[in-house]
Structure 1
Amino acid sequence: MALIWISAVRILSEHITPRIIAMAFPCEGAESIYRNDISEVSAFLNMFHENHFKVFNLCAERTYDPAKLGGNVEWMPFTDHSPAPTEEIFCFCEHAYDWLIADPNNVIVVHCKAGKGRTGLMVCAYLLYSRECSDPVTAIQYYGEKRTKNGKGLTISSQRRYLFYFYDLWKHGPRNLVPLVISRISLYSNVSMKHDIAIQISCNGGNGSFQLNQILDSQHGGCVANLVKEGKNTTFLFSEVRIMGDVRIAVYDARYSGKPIFYFWFNTAFVDGNLFTLASKSELDKPSKVIVVFSSRLLQKFGRAEVMLGGEGRAMEHITKKLSNINRFLSPVRRY
């Protein structure tokens, strides 16, 4: 992360390309000591890009008065440590492209809270969209090298997964979004699970929103038909859990109702066959750092997780049409 000093202006930011700036949240008060002071951000942008910058605020948890950054601020919120729906990623790319193509002096400024994960997902997507990078792996590597000292820029597994979703749509066109039914979730471990675990399942129903509706909490019964423990493995069997679109599954230690042990996201349009598998711990999102015996043992010896799915057999035509809007971007070379 670059620490830029211009006279008395200090900005935590990085030029990913000459026209794409990634930075931390512009703050006021005490927080501006270790993030960015919004007045200094304004001074920096007006010093070098006056009337030629557009800011994208990706924070769902907070915002600020756009007038403090000249008014040209677009709020495209999604949750911290989570992916954005593919529709939102395409929307960001389109709006960024339209601004950059309007004037060769225009730049975009992208930030979330720390200016790394959510910012990285959108910036990497745009690097693919504008053909600055040829594939997701290259985009992730390039962004990491430009944004951080250790090369670890886009590290959240589900954010990386959704970048590959975006690339699939960008390269091959829209997929049909169909409703599915979860029949079981199995957790495989190399150690015995001494305490009960709980599972929460949420989804957006395929509406393209980052806001999810919780459809199941295993601690409150509902659609959990049975819980089977076989040695070191645990399987939840479900009677009627219907999902569609973006899905979040979170695993908790049942003794604690706060931070999950781990969670992960996927989209039903990208499930090939009837099994979604996480093969290793590295595919989990933000494993909990809370030191409890059960949580730490599960994470250290985590084997894999499987979500067994069955199809409803009904294509959601309105979603298919919505995703088809990307077709107009597939032919021309989108490079500013």
Structure 2
Amino acid sequence: MKTAALALKTKHFEHYKVWNVSRPRHDLKRCLSVENSGWPPRLAPPLDRLCSLCKQFEQWLVANSNNVVVIHCKLFSDESVEDRFDMKRFADKHIGANGQPSHKRYITYFSSLLSGKIRVNPAPLYLHRITVSHLVGRVLSVKIYERLKPVYQTTPTWVIFT
């Protein structure tokens, strides 16, 4: 950590800013000026927080052409890094560098949201049914979160028919 902090200070002087998107870490605060903006591990970030972060990045980068954004995300272990690399290599080989169609749709949707072309509907959305297919012989469990807190969870169940 000290080596990374020294490299940032040497190369970018005061033109870098670190955003920590994992749990708050005291060792980061000792070495660097850090904005803690994390969310619980293994959960997708809330859309409003993700938009807020992107806007903060943009404001910082626009403020000075020399500014640099550093995003810190602590993984769970060294094995997590290896697993992530293996998944990325598999995806690049079998799916393509551009990713799955759902990823492309999400990126298009999110960029439209950030640019103001579309807006988030503030009205609540109620799920009355969830349909999942092609899971015969698998264990299925559903967990629904609202504002990062689980509000509903099914018990794991073997799927024996479609």
Q: What's the TM-score, normalizing by structure 1?
A: 0.35
Counterpart Cα distance in 1 of 2:40 and 2:103: 11
Structure with more helix by fraction: 2
1:97 to 51, 54, 58: 58
Percent identity over paired residues: 25
Return the match for 2:117 from 172, 177, 184.
Answer: 172
Kept after mapping to 1: 8 A contact 2:143/2:150: yes
8 Å CA contact 1:189, 1:232 repeated in 2: no
* Residue number in structure 1 paired with 2:26: 64
Aligned-residue Cα RMSD (Å) equals: 3.7
Q: Gapped runs of 5+ residues in structure 2?
A: 76-87
CA distance in structure 1 between the partners assigned to 2:127 and 2:153 by the alignment: 14
Quickly say closer, same or farther: Cα 1:84–1:201, change in 2 above 3 A.
Answer: closer
Encode CA deviations 1:43-97: one digit per residue, 9 max, x unaligned. Answer: 111221112111111113x52342312x2x1111124444322322222222222
Quick check: 2:20–2:72 contact (8 Å CA) kept in 1? yes
Please tell me whether the aligned partners of residues 91 and 99 of structure 2 are also in contact (alpha carbons under 8 angstroms): no
Matches for 1:143-222 after TM superposition, within 5 Å: 162-169=106-113, 170-189=115-134, 191=136, 193=137, 197-204=140-147, 212-219=148-155
Structure 1 stretches of 5 or more lacking a match? Answer: 1-37, 115-147, 205-211, 220-226, 234-336
Q: Structure 1's 43 and 175: CA in aligned 2 closer, same or farther, altered over 3 A?
A: closer
Cα gap change, 1:43/1:217 in structure 2, threshold over 3 Å: closer, same or farther? same
Q: How does 1:269-280 map to 2 (within 5 A)?
A: none
Count of residue pairs the alignment pairs up? 143
Of the structure 1 ranges 45-54 and 90-99, higher mean CA displacement relative to structure 2 is found in 90-99
In structure 1, what is the equivalent of residue 83 of structure 2? none
- Equivalent residue number for residue 48 of structure 1: 11
Match of 1:208 in 2: none
1:84 to 45, 57, 60: 45
**Larger CA deviation: 159-168 vs 92-101:** 159-168
Conserved? CA contact 1:100–1:107, under 8 Å: yes
Contact 1:82–1:159, Cα closer than 8 Å, also in 2: no
Q: 1:87 to 1:217 in 2, by over 3 A?
A: closer
Q: Select the structure that is richer in strand.
A: 1
What is the distance in 1 between the residues matched to 2:51 and 2:43?
16
Larger Rg: 1
Q: What are the Cα deviations for residues 217-241 of structure 1, in whole angstroms up to 9, with x where unaligned?
A: 233xxxxxxx9x8x622xxxxxxxx
Q: Which amino acid aligns with 1:43?
A: L
Which letter maps to 2:132? L
Q: How does the TM-score come out when normalised to structure 2?
A: 0.66
